Amino acid sequence: MRSSETTIDTGNYALVIHGGAGTILKERMTSKKEAAYKAALTQALQAGYDILKKGGNSLDAVEAAVIVMEDSPLFNAGKGSVFTNEGKNEMDAAIMDGKSLMAGSVASVTTIKNPIIAAKTVMLKSPHVMMIGAGAEKFAKEQGLNIVDPSYFYTKERWEQLQNAKEKDKIQLDHTDSIKSHSFLKQPENHDYKYGTVGACALDIHGNLAAATSTGGMTNKRFGRVGDAPIIGAGTYANNNSCAVSCTGWGEFFIRNVVAHDVAALVEYKGLNLKDAAEEVVMKKVPALGGDGGLIAIDRKGNIAMPFNTAGMYRGYVKKDGQIVVEIYK
């Protein structure tokens, strides 16, 4: 029997979360906003910890932590999701169980209040792994999930970010030129993930791992673009044989590097410890292709890694002792 199918009572448990990586500089942060981020991260950690300390499972813990961040306008997920070029909010989310290797994800949804709940419902209530767009929304509605008007996701700050992005990236399509010359096919100059993807990874008292990730994607994104967050193995992965991973950053590079699974593979097949495996991918492989970002990870022994190659990453963790640690800058 694979070790991922076994249950062990380790007596140990821990939770690690992130709220996005990017150009997060202390000199640009007001004390009020910094306090708000720390409070939201603390609340998310507490929500997951409350489940773990009662003997609850890691899957429920990561879901609870992510829901808190989805409900906060501070993060690019759920309520705080950024706008597409068309002025819409299109959200993605994924969740994975390290014991069974079951997973669920949704992409390009616009009316589901908490996409992470939809992802978990896809995993538990359907034979599928991923659902997208209108189909995912129809499924969520049939399952009794909270469906809201798209206006729920509107925030003034995100709307202004879209307008600023459009100003910086004015696109004039000249149909007489080759499509390859159009700027939207090139790497975006304004790829700041300051208000980024959220995620959580947990180890429960039974020795089982889980990972969850949720995002509003990229500001000013076009053509139904989907990043790494809802793609199992790219932005989200969990396996009791190795670790649980949730990523944040420039999604295209995380997809191409299959980052989440790559970290797990280095742990399982090469025998690297969690810290070395995570840093190998985030600090070497992703930048080598021109990408940036970070990730959080936890293994079955409760070891935690939170590497990032950007100026900062909203992050935090809590272990069995209940001591909550929250960090933002390098």
Q: What is the pLDDT of residues 158-193, one digit of tens each?
A: 999 999 989 887 743 344 344 444 444 444 444 554
Q: Please state, in angstroms and rounded to a whole number, the distance separating the CA atoms of residues 260 and 305.
A: 12
Q: Is residue 175 part of a domain?
A: no
Q: Is residue 171 part of a domain?
A: no
Q: Which helix (DSSP H) or strand (DSSP E) does residue 326 occupy? A: strand 324-329
Q: Is residue 180 part of a domain?
A: no
Is residue 197 among the annotated active site residues? yes
Inter-axis angle of helices 115-125 and 58-70, nearest 10: 150
Q: Which of 293, 299, 249 is nearest to 277 (CA)?
A: 299
Q: Is residue 255 part of a domain?
A: yes
End-to-end C-alpha distance for the chain, whole angstroms: 42
Q: Please state, in angstroms and rounded to a whole number, the distance separating the CA atoms of residues 44 and 14.
A: 13
146-155: per-residue pLDDT in tens?
A: 999 999 999 9
Q: Please state, in angstroms and rounded to a whole number, the distance separating the CA atoms of residues 234 and 140.
A: 24
Tokens representing 61 are 């813990």
* Domain of residue 97, CATH code: 3.60.20.30
Q: What angle do CA 7, 207, 316 make, to 5 degrees?
A: 155
Q: Which helix (DSSP H) or strand (DSSP E) does residue 319 occupy? A: strand 312-319
**Residue 58's domain spans which residues?**
3-165+192-329
Check pLDDT > 50 for residue 226: yes
Check pLDDT > 70 for residue 266: yes
Position 56 confidence tier, pLDDT thresholds 50, 70, 90: very high
272-281: per-residue pLDDT in tens?
A: 999 999 999 9
Position 25 confidence tier, pLDDT thresholds 50, 70, 90: confident
Q: Is residue 11 part of a domain?
A: yes
Q: What is the pLDDT of residue 1?
A: 33
Check pLDDT > 60 for residue 312: yes
Beta strands (DSSP E) in 123-239 are 130-132, 198-203, 209-215, 236-238
Check pLDDT > 70 for residue 73: yes
Beta pairing partners, 203: 14, 209
State how many domains the chain has.
Answer: 1
Position 214 confidence tier, pLDDT thresholds 50, 70, 90: very high
Q: Is residue 187 part of a domain?
A: no
- Residue 89: Cβ-neighbour burial (10 angstroms; 0-12, 13-18, 19+): buried
Q: Is residue 173 part of a domain?
A: no
Of 84, 110, 197, 248, which is the active-site residue? Answer: 197
Q: Is residue 109 part of a domain?
A: yes
Q: 16 vs 135, 201, 202, 213, 294, CA distance in Å?
A: 32, 5, 6, 12, 13
Q: In what order do the strands lie in the sheet with 243-249?
A: 236-238, 243-249, 293-299, 304-305
- The three-state secondary structure class of 102 is coil
Q: What is the pLDDT of residue 192?
A: 54
Q: Please state, in angstroms and rounded to a whole number, the distance separating the CA atoms of residues 206 and 49.
A: 14
What is the mean pLDDT of the segment spanning 116-137?
98
Q: What is the pLDDT of residue 11?
A: 82
pLDDT-above-70 percentage for the chain: 89
